[in-house]
């Protein structure tokens, strides 16, 4: 079991890197090498996506 706090604040590439690493370590094609990964974070802190929005529109 892997608990990852503040996962929402990380770049998506870090999640991909963990996935690929666990694939190699566990020798498994299952997501995250078959290991349970719990992502947590404060969903209130993430800003909504506004396509082509200015900073004033996003905040």
pLDDT band per the 50, 70, 90 thresholds, residue 42: confident
Q: From the CA atom positions of the chain, what is the Rg in Å?
A: 15
pTM: 0.66
Measured at the CA of 56, the angle between CA 6 and CA 47, to 5 degrees, comes to 20
SS (H, E, C) the chain: CEEECCHHHCCHHHHHHHHHHHHHHHCCCCHHHHCCEEECCCCCCCCCCCCCCCHHHHC
Express each pLDDT in 11-32 by its tens digit: 889 999 999 999 999 999 999 9
Phi, psi angles (nearest 5°) of residue 42: -95, 105
């Amino acid at each position: 079991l892997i608990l990852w706090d503040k996962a929402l604040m990380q770049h998506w590439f870090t999640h991909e890197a963990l996935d690929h690493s666990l694939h190699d370590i566990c020798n498994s094609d299952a997501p995250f090498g078959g290991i349970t990964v719990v992502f947590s974070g404060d969903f209130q802190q993430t800003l909504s996506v506004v396509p082509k929005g200015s900073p004033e529109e996003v905040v």
